[in-house]
A and B are shown apart, each in its own frame.
Chain A
Amino acid sequence: MKYEIIGDFDVIVIGMGGAGLRAAIASHDAGARTAILTMGDNSPTQCGATTTAEYSYSAPLAIADPRDNADVFLDDISKVGLGVNDPQLSALLAEHASSRLLEMRSWGVRFDLKQPGGLLQQNRLAGHSYPRAVHFDYATGREMARGLHRHAVAKGVQVLPYRFALDLVVEDGRSKGVLVLNIARDRLELFTGGAVVLATGGASGIWDLNSNPPGIDGDGMAMALRAGVELVDMEFQQFFPACLVAPPFLRGTNFPFFSRGMLLNSGGEAFLKNYGLDEGRDVRDVLAIAICKEIEAGRGTPNDGVFVDFTRTPREVLKELAQNSKIRYLRDLGFRPLEDQMEIAPSAHFTMGGILIDAAAKTTIPGLYACGEVCGGCHGANRLAGNALAETQVFGNIAGVNAADYANCNSQRDAEPSTDLVATLIEGVFDERGAKDISKAIDDVKRIRVIMDKNVKVIRDEDSLKEAERQLAELAEKEFSFDKPSGNATFDYGKIEALKRRNTILVAKTVVASALCRDESRGAHYRQDCPRCKEEWDYCNVVAKVDPASGEPATYVQQR
Chain B
Amino acid sequence: MKKKALFEVYRQDNKDAGGYFKEYLLVIDDSISVYDALWTIRNELDASLALPYFRCRKGVCGSCLMRINGVQRLACRIPVRKALGEDGVIRVTPPKGRPILKDLITGWGDHDEV
Q: Which residues of A contact B (CB under 8 A)?
A: 39-43, 45-46, 51-52, 54, 139, 142, 153, 158-162, 182, 184-185, 211, 213-215, 247, 249-250, 252-254, 325-326, 328-329, 332-334, 438-439, 490-494, 496
Contact = CB atoms under 8 A, between A and B. Distances in A.
Contacts of B59: 325-326, 328-329, 332
Contacts, number: 114
Interface of B: 14, 29, 31-33, 36, 42, 47, 50-63, 77-79, 81-82, 101-103, 105, 107-108, 111-114
B57 A153 contact: no
Nearest to A250: B57
Given A161-B114, A333-B31, A494-B47, A43 B58 contact: no
A139 B113 CA distance: 28
B78 A496 contact: no
Contact of B111 (A42, A184, A325, A492): A42
Contact of A45 (B36, B62, B81): B62
A247 B108 contact: no
B55 A214 contact: yes
A158 B102 CA distance: 23
Q: Most A CB atoms within 10 A — which of B29, B59, B103, B114?
A: B114
A493 B38 CA distance: 14
A161 B47 contact: no
Contacts of A254: 57
Contacts of A45: 54, 61-63
A333 B33 contact: yes
21 contacts: A41-B52, A45-B61, A45-B63, A46-B53, A46-B54, A52-B61, A139-B60, A142-B56, A184-B114, A249-B36, A250-B57, A253-B57, A329-B59, A332-B77, A332-B79, A333-B31, A333-B77, A333-B78, A333-B79, A490-B14, A491-B102
Main secondary structure of the interface of B (DSSP, over half): loop
A185 B33 CA distance: 30
Given A41-B108, A490-B14, A158 B79 contact: no
A494 B29 CA distance: 24
B84 to A, nearest CB: 13
B63 A46 contact: yes
Contacts of B32: 247, 249
Contacts of A139: 60
A115 to B, nearest CB: 25
Contacts of B36: 249
Contacts of B114: 161-162, 182, 184-185
Nearest to A333: B79
Contact of A42 (B31, B58, B113): B113
Given A52-B56, A213-B61, A332-B78, 9 more contacts: A42-B107, A54-B58, A214-B54, A328-B59, A329-B58, A332-B79, A333-B31, A333-B78, A333-B79
A142 B53 contact: no
B80 to A, nearest CB: 10
Given A42-B111, A42-B113, A249-B33, A491 B61 contact: no
B58 A253 contact: yes
A184 B58 contact: no
